[in-house]
């Protein structure tokens, strides 16, 4: 699951597949083809994680949660095939478990990392179960305060490598609620890699987070925002995701590539083209003492640089100069 790049991009499939195994397989292909490093699902076992009368979230209230989780679940064999399909296409496979039984299932298929969803941050038994696997964990923070996050981090630190993600549990998340300031607070508070789980509709938040030090960016992906389900409307379509991935790669390259501002040798010839030299602004006679009005500053920069004009003012012309003649120090007494 480790990446050789400056950051890792997670394509969140979630439940966009709507229970279709074929859609799930194809979404893996789409994520891989458009630059994702990891494809992430959600592993729901309805009987293990929710009561039948549990309320529905406001952004998806057309189908009871228990029935939705039941209908969209995959078998262990299907999960195994999904993982293999991802690995065959060169992307990591990760899922969010919502019950200990889901962790057991994911361990059976050999999942290499876990994502802790926002609603599970206070589910300490689940966190302990995940930590006991020793696998890398990405911890979302959407609905949690610092006290709850501190507790979750303390549990998960006993397991594998941990990355803490800033996330706002608003669908879609407006710009003023993104909370980029929390990224630095998380890094200072925990001394751990930080990331960003992006619930906005555009590109800006993820790119800004990458520029501010997020080394993992998670973004929902879908075939079309018109698809049925809880996540599709707030996801990126394939071509958008491709552009987003390239922008993130470029941002990480810029953030991790240093330049020496004094190393300008490569601009030697360009400077001659674009910078200014001191030239005669009028006809100048031999023996004439040059005043400011007698000189001008024009391209190319192959003569006395404009920055040295004070070394020319008050000097006597050694020879006559026509308008626009480039002045050299050899022309002056």
By percentage, how much of the chain surpasses pLDDT 70?
A: 98
Query: What distance in Å separates the CA atoms of residue 46 and residue 71, rounded to the nearest whole number?
Result: 9
Quickly tell me which residue has 């890699």 as its tokens: 193
Q: What length does the chain have?
A: 333
* Rounded Cα gap, residues 228 and 269, in angstroms: 59
Expressed in percent and rounded to 5, the helix, strand and coil fractions of the chain are 40, 20, 40
Of 51-60, 245-254, 263-272, 296-305, the range with the lowest mean pLDDT is: 51-60
Q: What is the CA radius of gyration of the chain?
A: 30
Residue 317 structure tokens: 């012309």
| pLDDT over 90 (residue 46) | yes
Instruction: Return d(Cα 273, Cα 302) in angstroms, integer.
Output: 8
Is pLDDT of 229 > 90? no
Strand 216-220 with 194-198, pairing: parallel
Cis-peptide into 172, omega within 30 deg: yes
pLDDT at 270 over 80: yes
Tokens of 156: 């998960």
pLDDT of residue 260: 95
Nearest Cα neighbor of 152 from 167, 174, 170, 173 is 167
Model confidence over 190-202: pLDDT tens digits?
999 999 999 999 9
* Of the candidates 142, 139, 76, 140, the residue with the CA atom closest to the CA atom of residue 111: 76
Strand partners, 103: none
265 Cβ neighbours under 8 A, 6+ residues apart: none
**What's the mean pLDDT in 312-319?**
97
Checking DSSP bridges between strand 277-280 and strand 295-298, what pairing results, if any? antiparallel
Q: How many CB atoms lie within 10 A of CB 212?
A: 17
In this prediction, residue 42 carries a pLDDT of: 97
Residue 5 pLDDT: 59
């Amino acid at each position: 699951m480790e990446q050789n790049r400056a950051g890792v991009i997670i394509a969140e499939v979630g439940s966009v597949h709507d229970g279709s195994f074929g859609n799930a397989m194809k979404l893996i292909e789409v994520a891989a083809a458009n630059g994702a490093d990891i494809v992430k699902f959600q592993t729901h076992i309805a009987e293990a994680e929710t009561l039948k009368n549990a309320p529905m979230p406001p952004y998806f209230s057309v189908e009871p949660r228990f029935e939705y989780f039941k209908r969209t679940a995959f078998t262990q064999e299907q999960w195994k095939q999904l993982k293999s399909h991802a690995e065959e296409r060169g992307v990591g496979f990760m899922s969010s478990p919502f019950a200990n039984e889901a962790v057991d299932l994911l361990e059976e298929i050999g999942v290499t990392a876990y994502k802790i969803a926002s609603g599970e941050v206070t589910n300490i038994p689940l966190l302990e179960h995940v930590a006991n696997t020793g696998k890398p964990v990405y911890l979302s923070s959407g609905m949690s305060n610092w006290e709850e996050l501190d507790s979750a981090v303390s549990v998960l630190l006993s397991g594998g490598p941990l990355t803490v993600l800033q996330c706002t549990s608003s669908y879609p998340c407006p710009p003023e609620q993104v909370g980029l300031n929390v990224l630095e607070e998380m890094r200072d508070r925990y001394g751990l890699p930080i990331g960003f789980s992006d619930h906005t509709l555009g590109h800006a938040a993820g790119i800004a987070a990458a520029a501010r030090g997020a080394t993992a960016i998670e973004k929902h992906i879908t075939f079309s925002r018109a698809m049925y389900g809880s996540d599709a409307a707030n996801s990126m379509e394939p071509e958008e995701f491709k552009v987003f991935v390239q922008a993130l790669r470029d941002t990480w390259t810029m953030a991790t590539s240093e330049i020496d501002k004094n190393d300008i040798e490569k601009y030697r010839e360009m400077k001659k083209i674009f910078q200014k030299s001191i030239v005669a602004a009028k006809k100048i006679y031999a023996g004439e003492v040059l005043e400011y009005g007698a000189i001008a500053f024009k391209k190319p920069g192959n003569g006395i640089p404009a920055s040295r004009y004070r070394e020319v003012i008050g000097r006597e012309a050694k020879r006559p100069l026509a308008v626009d003649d480039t002045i050299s120090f050899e022309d002056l007494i």
